[in-house]
Amino acid sequence: MKKVITYSLALGIFSSVILGPVANVQAASLTKAEALVQRAEKEATALKWQISIEHTQSIKTPDMKVFNSTKSAYLAAQKEISSISDSAKRAELEKKLEETAGIHYKRSMGYVDAITSGNKIQKLANTLQQEYRKDPSSKLTETAYHALSEEIRKQGKLLYRVYGKSTREAFIAQYKSPAEQMLLNVKSAKIAKGLITKLDQAIQKKTKQDSILNELFLTLESIKDDTMYYRLFEEYSKVMRKDINFVAQEKDFNIYFGQMNQLINKKDVTGVFSLYGKDFPDYEFLKEDIQTSFNENDTKFELLNVYVYSIISGYAYVEVEDLATTGNKKETIINVYLLKKENKEWKIVDIFTPY
């Protein structure tokens, strides 16, 4: 019996000697892992704000010191956790690490990838803009067009992987949407160039132009690049003035608006009112408004210039420049008139301020 007791005691002493250090190592590893998880969480919290548009107010590359320190802390915690033998505790720490640090680190990688992708798209869009402004129909423009289109197809999806609705929308607005508008500008400019050529041919052949003009103006409206828009409009204007009928009608409008000024200067309410069509906004109050204006103002008008934008299907857009004199004060006034032909007479149906 004494031997059994002695043996049992010896076994207990042996076990404590052997297992004690192992338990201590495991406890130390667990403590270290927990500390590393806390450090990773702290670093990731700082990184989180680097990739939030609400915080940064603009898209910019995160502070790479913050990014790299988060990465180092995250990977160090991962490595230490993997050495824990207690599967339940290991799983618990892995879950905490991913929820507090891993998620922000991975989101930041997506954010940085999106910036890289966006910059590629932006660079190709700039190249395309340079080429198409030289010539929308050139081979270089076509090559740049396809390069940008392909880059948007390949890289654009990375922009949608950015975390956070507002941040994602900011990426789309800064990179993808302008590039897509550039593609539309190029496509529309090329179509417009072709339509201007068709218009020139129609004028030479003295065939109908309305369908060509309608399509041309719809196409021009889709171009959001002012430089190209005005250049193409200038090309259209030069071609349009090859049409002797158009030029003749522009001269008629000079007479029309000259006579209008004479009626205004004489304060002829009925005469001025007769120039307006029933489609004019608030037509029922127009005559009274004209009378009130004459009663309250003593301004004289002198016609300086008339420029016809278009005459299509019985409608005309005409820019009119007048010199208005009130006492010693003189100022130039420019308005754009929309006129409609009614019973072979032009009637004003709206007035706009040019932009």
Q: Give backbone dihedrals phi and psi of 275, rounded to 5 degrees, phi first.
A: -80, -10
Instruction: Supply the DSSP symbol for 164.
Output: S
pLDDT at site 13:
46
Q: Give me the residue label for tokens 């090559």.
A: 143
CB 318 within 8 A of CB 255: no
Q: Is the dihedral of CA 89, 93, 96, 102 positive or negative?
A: negative
28 has pLDDT over 60: no
Q: Would you say residue 196 has pLDDT above 90?
A: yes
User: What digits encode the pLDDT tens for the residues 39-88?
Assistant: 988 988 888 898 888 888 888 888 889 999 999 999 998 898 888 888 88
Token couple for 35:
């500390």
Q: Phi, psi at residue 320, to the nearest 5°? A: -125, 130
CB 222 within 8 A of CB 256: no
Q: Return the DSSP state at 160.
A: T
Question: Across all residues in the chain, what is the average pLDDT?
Answer: 89
Place of tokens 């339940």: 88
Q: Taking the CB of residue 183, how many other CB atoms lie within 10 A of it? A: 18
Antiparallel, parallel or unpaired: β 345-352 and 329-342: antiparallel
Q: What is the mean pLDDT of residues 339-355?
A: 94
Distance CA(106)–CA(162), nearest Å, equals 10
Residue type, 143: T
The structure tokens 């660079």 sit at 123
pLDDT at 156: 76
Residue 14 pLDDT > 90, yes or no? no
In Å, what is the CA distance from 22 to each residue of 25, 29, 202?
5, 11, 95
Query: Token pair 């667990």 is at which residue?
Result: 30
Span 74-127, pLDDT tens digits: 999 889 888 888 888 889 988 999 898 889 999 999 889 889 989 999 999 999
Range scoring the smallest mean pLDDT among 91-95, 200-204, 302-306:
91-95
C-beta separation of 40 from 97 below 8 A: yes
Res 11 pLDDT > 80: no
User: Does the pLDDT value for residue 37 go beyond 90?
Assistant: no
CB atoms within 10 A of CB 137: 13
β-pair partners for 338: 317, 350
Give me the residue label for tokens 């109908």. 208
Tell how strand 315-326 and strand 300-312 pair up.
antiparallel
**Contact in structure between 336 and 351 (CB atoms under 8 Å):** yes
Question: In the β-sheet with 329-342, what is the strand arrangement from edge to edge?
Answer: 300-312, 315-326, 329-342, 345-352
Q: What distance lies between CA 155 and its chain's CA centroid?
A: 18
Q: What is the pLDDT of residue 32?
A: 86
Q: What is the pLDDT of residues 229-253, one digit of tens each?
A: 999 999 999 999 999 999 999 999 9
Q: Output the pTM of the full model.
A: 0.70
Is the pLDDT assigned to residue 30 strictly greater than 70? no
pLDDT band at 8; cut points 50, 70, 90:
very low
pLDDT at residue number 60: 87
- For residue 29, what pLDDT is reported? 55
Placement of tokens 């490595």 in the chain:
79
One-letter amino acid of 69: S
